[in-house]
């Protein structure tokens, strides 16, 4: 069974939402699936309780019980680049540890969905500057790319695709997230696909996160065009 990354062209493009939807979609096939967020930043406080948005979403929607130690390695309080958030806490991110955990999870689950942090060139360490992209290359896993549909997405998406292709990283497909149906957005999508005619999915703009699971459960074929299990994953 094939494991993969969910990466984005930038921060807040919907990586966690797509990771969660894919997790649930695959779990419904009877597969043992775990999401894995190597590094998450930005602790959220509500009613005197602190939590992290990404792993909290995984746990809220998973159809299987998730093991805390399997879904995250570093949780850093500051909403900042991982290398800087770690520096503020007197920590350093051990990239070898992340890669070892990814390998361990691959042996333990049918599918591991690794979620990136920010864009591809977000640094995990400094001063040598090991980036998320370096970790992806070392993991030897393919990616699903999440991007916006709004103005600016053509440049951001094509640059990200070029970086992935230059390093011979297999791209399973692209998810256009937040579509409102405008003519500009439709042209953005078609223009990107003219450059890279690869499998894709389009997620409309959801008014609130409570719509997430309803959408995922009623659009069960959303990702099947690039998750045809017999021909693509096995």
Residues taking part in catalysis: 37
Which alpha helices (DSSP H) does 89-152 contain, by range?
95-108, 132-139
Phi and psi torsions of 122, nearest 5°: -65, 125
Query: How far, rounded to the nearest angstrom, does the alpha carbon of residue 15 sit from its chain's CA centroid?
Result: 4
> What angle in degrees, to the nearest 10, is found between the helix axes of 153-166 and 183-195?
20
SS3 content of the chain, % helix, strand, coil (to 5): 40, 20, 35
Alpha carbons 97 and 221: distance in angstroms, whole number: 35
Closest residue by Cα to residue 52 from 21, 75, 69, 74: 75
């Amino acid at each position: 069974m094939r494991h993969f990354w969910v990466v984005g062209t930038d921060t807040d493009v919907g990586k966690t939402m797509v990771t969660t939807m894919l997790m649930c979609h695959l779990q419904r096939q009877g597969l043992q699936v775990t999401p894995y967020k190597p590094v998450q930043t930005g602790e959220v406080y509500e009613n005197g309780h602190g939590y992290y948005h990404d792993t909290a979403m995984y746990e809220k929607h998973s159809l299987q019980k998730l093991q805390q130690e399997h879904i995250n390695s570093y949780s850093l309080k500051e909403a900042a680049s991982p290398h800087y958030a770690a520096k503020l806490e007197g920590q350093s991110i051990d990239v070898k540890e992340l890669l070892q955990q990814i390998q361990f999870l691959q042996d333990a689950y049918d599918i591991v969905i690794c979620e990136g942090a920010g864009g591809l060139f977000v640094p995990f360490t400094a001063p040598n500057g090991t980036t998320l992209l370096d970790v992806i290359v070392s993991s030897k896993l393919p990616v699903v790319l999440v991007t916006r549909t709004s103005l600016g997405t053509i440049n951001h998406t094509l640059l990200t695709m070029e970086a992935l292709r230059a390093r011979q990283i297999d791209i399973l497909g692209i998810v256009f997230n937040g579509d409102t149906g405008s003519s500009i957005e439709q042209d953005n999508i078609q223009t990107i696909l003219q450059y890279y005619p690869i499998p894709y999915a389009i997620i409309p703009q959801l008014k609130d996160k409570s719509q997430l699971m309803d959408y995922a459960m009623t659009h069960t074929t959303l990702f099947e065009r690039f998750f045809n299990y017999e021909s693509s994953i096995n």
